[in-house]
Structure 1
């Protein structure tokens, strides 16, 4: 990805975190080795062609298989007459088709728009329209959602996959179980769609042409609420992702100071690939290191997930506090052999000290916490991987990354003072897709991204988050914005006004609580929840509803969420 510079280029006494760096880690990543993810992909395939790259439900795809199949996808997309940089949406869980499609899109010179497959029609429509997506790949389980919004988008090409498409002989049995036994595929009809297998067959007859992709070209539109409630695309370039991979590779190498590196690495991929954390830390880093990612389509099924864990000698396990906690509460998980586990990486939400301590005691492997956002590709800071220490902080900036704590006027604050955490580095997004005003608000003139998180840096360069400047609610690592919840709830004729906040939740870190002033005195909690469920995906839905006669307001009439938080 990048050549590590031997000089600590650009370092200064202000970068106090450099004194806390692990031995041998440079301050800067140096120039990028590859111009694009496609070029990087070709190199990985040449180096590791025979190794498994992704495994799902017992079926492995080698790097060579991934190369062949993704080229077919790329060739088919190129045959549609799409322009370089056109957006292609991917609405898939963690199944083998996901990386085949994503790398096919990237290699062909197009832009990936990752979509949460559990989105409601309202959420999906906003994302497809905002991105101007021209095509979409969707698992049949979610095709009914696409059907409902298609006519109001620019999407002209729909490819529908089924769960068993890449599972060989057992694929037909898997499809039968999914469709007929578990009844997980609601009825749908999309005239003119193509099946995933048809597209692979068509692509095999077409020539794949390597496009000229520059480092500054857009690789992903990664949708996020940012620091406001409107979902918008973080514009991530090829250079953004390649830089973050180079930064993480330097950092990852230090984990092998604790425990020797095996000949080939096995990554556990339980987090969804449409989320920036798994996209970079699992998928891209798996390719970079010649590793095998074990894809878990439904990590919420803890007993099934534990069975999968028992089948592999996992070395690297990225996850969330809630996932680690749920696993440790499973008796079968506690019986597993953890001797192969080298790195447990916690992100997406704060890792709680009791969870980290139990995990270390049970597995012998510490949880190392990192921090980042969709806008930073994602990893900006991490704790040292060569120690067992749990610091309770988000760690220190990765190579070529600067963190400053700034006040409301953008002035840098001294060590120990609390302010907004701001990040500068090559992994910081180019901006928000087609939203120059939002971009200008989020990125300062000197290139620092304002995260909206409030914290302080100590004398060792470790940063601690203490609060959020924004009203964002963090549910199992996913951003939930009160504005969106309130907009949906307010469309109910029985609601006069409402306000949403986050409250502590032992399972998801935070959960949504909605305060409601009734217009209809007979309105019930169940009616409110049912109304919200129609337009909001599961993690955004209010778990709690409290009725009030009035809501606290400022002297200009703005509802004060901070007063509701107490």
Structure 2
């Protein structure tokens, strides 16, 4: 790959990190996982509700499920949807789909029927592996899709017979978390329980297809830069490359753990590209043990899980770090093994980072990536000791250019669109050549839709999303800047800034706040903003809320807060 002459970030790399990595151009994820499962066969790969599943077991179960899928007509290139939270069954299904050369279509289990129908139709998924808790949603739309086979997962499937039975009874009958459903058995469609599919598959022979680096591995759906949901087409080589790049960047931190098995908190959902790459794929390569957290919003349950393990890695989003940092039980845990707390998915807040460091002794290290980049693009050094406010340096074999609306490179220090080139960049949007053309430049850069600044050292600071930028009387206002400063007020738990229509100024800033201190007043916050912002940046209106709308990953959904007012 042609690298630009100006790469100021390389001078600030840790000594042991190379400028480029062998991006695994001849490797596939199937090969990577096969090697990992063999190398770490004796190690536990994941733990859920006290039940461990080893790499050898995942390997064997994936063979069985893969053989079952082939018997149902799944061939290389068939799209298979996975719709479940972080469960042991997800790891098995993911490995099985990749092993037979099929394409994983990750589906958010909290999708509405409309959202699910769109994704299944757009991807052309013929098989779906779905947790029964969400089968009622599938029932609403399945007849308007090409889905031929449904694999029904229950929470307790891989927890052992007695524990599994108990968990399923509680989920279905006590907590009533499984709405009634009837999946119609039309001609050519099957509905099979997960454990039954495994049992049938063990009696079948898996035929390994040839899977190469240029085959499609994932359709990772994203709003992208235009807000229209589309599938980022990630090839095997894209994800393999990002694993190699991330491993190289993390290596100085990983070496601190020594020869012990690395324990990682997998609280971000595995259907999200960050957890998928970092926790599962890189985790398998390095033989890590993942603590699977199906519901990270259950903070007491998450803290209870953490009491039983000496954790080394904790990838999360700012909202989860913030919720834990404000939990008294969490503060009493043993953090002596924690060597990496990596933040992504949304802007990390200084106030949260300072609290996290004070409690754990491990700094929150912010990175940046997108579904379209498999995902990691930049990351701060893991030996960072304080909050930097930026998202770090381009990782090995990655280039960043900051460009204006006409595609011209801007000088260091000027804000423009962040454009990315590297082996981790997607092949394009699934069946959307028009949308692909909008974001890919002739010289091979991906236009992220994010506004950023690259400083003289090569550190990237994300100012905001293009679409979230607020224009007040012709001046650009970036919500992230407003939120960073407001979150520093001791009475604020979390906040969100959005632009709303205004007759005089075109747009005005509206601030939504969740109090930490119940006595916090609108006037106190207005005074705080007056001290910290020039007039056009100050919120015109402040509204207190009990909570803020969030995605299942924990991102605050600014678009749901916008509206007249």
TM norm structure 2: 0.83
Asked whether the equivalents of residues 95 and 295 of structure 1 are also in contact (C-alpha less than 8 Å), the reply is yes
Paired residue for 1:232, among 209, 224, 230?
A: 230
- 1:207 partnered with 2:214: no
Deviations 1:439-491 (A, max 9, x none): 0111101110000111111011001111221249999xxxx9x9xxxxxxxxx
- C-alpha displacement at 1:224, in angstroms? 0.3
Q: For residues 109 and 500 of structure 1, what CA distance do their matches in structure 2 show?
A: 50
Query: Pairwise mapping of residues 131-142 of structure 1 onto structure 2 (< 5 A)?
Result: 131-142=123-134
Q: Which residue of 2 aligns with 1:457?
A: 454
Residues 424-443 of structure 1: matches in 2 within 5 Å? 424-443=421-440
Rounded to whole Å, the distance in 1 between the matches of 2:181 and 2:295 is 22
Residues 24, 241 of structure 2: 8 Å contact kept:
yes
Matches within 5 A, 1:163-562: 163-168=155-160, 169-190=162-183, 191=185, 192-256=190-254, 259-471=256-468, 544=561
Residue correspondences, number = 491
Question: CA, structure 1 residues 184+385, in 2 after alignment: closer, same or farther (shift >3 Å)?
Answer: same
Q: Is the 8 A contact 1:310 1:336 kept in 2?
A: yes
For the residues of structure 2 that align with 1:267 and 1:407, how far apart are their CA atoms? 39
What SS is found at the alignment partner of 1:452?
Answer: strand
Corresponding residue number in structure 2 for 1:124: 116
CA distance in structure 1 between the partners assigned to 2:563 and 2:110 by the alignment: 26
Determine the C-alpha separation between the residues in 1 that align with 2:445 and 2:371.
Answer: 15
TM value normalised by structure 1: 0.83
How big is the shift at 1:295?
A: 0.2
Confirm or deny that 1:103 pairs with 2:95: yes
Gaps of 5+ in 2: 470-478, 484-495, 499-506, 516-548
User: How far did residue 226 of structure 1 move?
Assistant: 0.7
Structure-2 residue corresponding to 1:155: 147
The answer as to 2:45 corresponding to 1:48 is: no
Matched residue, 1:512: none
1:17 and 2:13 correspond: no
SS state at 2:328 partner: coil
Q: Deviations over 1:475-527 (max 9, x none)?
A: 9xxxx9x9xxxxxxxxxxxxxxxx999965559xxxxxxxxxxxxxxxxxxxx
Tell me how far 1:427 sits from its aligned partner. Answer: 0.3
Whole-Å Cα distance in 2 between the matches of residues 79 and 539 of structure 1? Answer: 43
Superimposed CA distance per residue, residues 192-250 of structure 1 (whole angstroms, 9 cap, x where no aligned partner):
41111110011111111111011011000000011112110000000000000000010
- Describe the shift of the 1:501–1:143 C-alpha distance in structure 2 as closer, same or farther (beyond 3 A): farther
For the Cα contact (< 8 Å) 2:365–2:384, is it kept in 1?
Answer: no
Are residue 78 (structure 1) and residue 75 (structure 2) matched? Answer: no
- Quickly say closer, same or farther: Cα 1:197–1:539, change in 2 above 3 A: farther
- Cα distance in 2 for partners of 1:377, 1:543 equals 27
Shift of 1:390: 2.3
Q: What is the rounded CA distance, in whole Å, between the counterparts of 1:174 and 1:317 in structure 2? A: 27
Aligned-residue offset at 1:30:
2.1
C-alpha separation between the residues in 2 aligned to 1:31 and 1:394? 22
The root-mean-square deviation of aligned C-alpha atoms, in Å, is 2.5
Give the Cα–Cα distance (whole angstroms) in 2 for the partners of residues 245 and 538 of structure 1.
Answer: 24
- C-alpha separation in 2, matches of 1:374 and 1:40: 20
Q: 1:182 to 1:403 in 2, by over 3 A?
A: same
Give the alignment of 1:60-71 within 5 angstroms: 60-71=52-63
Q: Is the 8 A contact 1:360 1:367 kept in 2?
A: yes
Report the Cα offset of residue 358 of structure 1.
Answer: 1.1
Q: For each residue in 1:143-201, what CA deviation from the matched residue of structure 2 results, as whole angstroms up to 9, or x when unmatched?
A: 00001100000101011111000000200000010000000000001134111111001
Matches of 1:208 and 1:195, distance apart in 2: 19
Looking at structure 2, the residues matched to 369 and 110 of structure 1 have their Cα atoms a distance apart, in angstroms, of: 33
Q: Cα distance 1:136–1:50, how it changes in 2: closer, same or farther (>3 A)? A: same
